[in-house]
Amino acid sequence: MRCARRRRMFPTAPPTPSSRAVSACVRWRRPRWRRPRSRWRRVSRISQESEEHMPTSRPTVYDVAERAGVSIATVSFAFRRPDKVRAETREVVLQAAREIGYVPSGSARNLARGRTGVLGLHLFDLLLDVAPGTPAADEGLVDLSTLDLGAPVLEWDAAEDARASEPKVFPLYVDEVQRGFVLECRRNTTGVLLRRGGTGPNEIAETAGQVDGLAILPGHVGLAPTAALSSSVPVVMVSSDGGPGHHVLADNVGGIRSLVDHLVTVHGARSLGWVGAADGWDPRQRRDAFDEAVVSHAGATGELVDPVDVGVDPVFTALLERADAGSLPDALVCATDQTALAVIDALRERGVEAPRDVLIAGFDGIQATRTSTPTLTTVRQPMELMGRLAAHLLLTDPGDGSVAPRTVTVAVALQLGGSCGCA
Would you state the torsion angle of the CA atoms of residues 353, 355, 357, 359, taken in this order, to the nearest 10 degrees?
Answer: 120
Strands 378-380 and 331-334: unpaired
Q: How much is the pTM? A: 0.70
The verdict on 169 and 245 lying in the same domain is yes
278 in a domain, yes or no? Answer: yes
Residues 390 and 241 in one domain: yes
Q: Are residues 130 and 80 in the same domain?
A: no
What is the pLDDT at residue 128?
39
- Residues 356 and 399 reside in one and the same domain: no
The mean pLDDT values, 10 residues at a time, for the chain of 423 residues are 47 48 50 52 46 58 90 85 87 88 64 72 58 49 80 76 55 86 94 75 72 80 56 85 87 98 97 92 94 97 94 87 97 95 95 97 94 96 96 92 92 97 88
Residue 29, in any domain of the structure = no
User: Does 373 lie in the same domain as 402?
Assistant: no
234 in the same domain as 180 = yes
Q: Is there a single domain that holds both residue 138 and residue 95?
A: no
pLDDT of residue 130: 40
Q: How many domains does the chain have?
A: 3
- pLDDT score recorded for residue 151: 86
- The alpha carbon of 337 is separated from its chain's Cα centroid by a whole number of angstroms, namely 23
Spatial separation of the C-alpha atoms in residues 313 and 134, rounded to whole Å: 9
Domain holding 342, by residue range, is: 252-382+412-420
Residues 312 and 279 in one domain: yes
Mark whether 226 and 270 lie in a shared domain: no
Domain CATH for 315:
3.40.50.2300
Distance from C-alpha of 279 to C-alpha of 257, rounded to nearest angstrom = 20
Contact between residue 85 and residue 93 where contact means Cβ atoms under 8 Å apart: yes
**What's residue 10's pLDDT?**
46
In a domain, 18, yes or no: no
Residue 49 within any structural domain of the chain: no
The reply to whether 70 and 90 lie within a common domain is yes
Question: DSSP E strands: which ranges in 184-245?
Answer: 191-196, 213-216, 235-238
Q: Any long-range contacts for 64-71 (C-beta under 8 Å, 24+ apart)? A: 64/93, 64/96, 64/97, 64/100, 64/102, 67/96, 67/99, 67/100, 68/42, 68/92, 68/93, 68/95, 68/96, 69/39, 69/42
Per-residue pLDDT, 241: 82
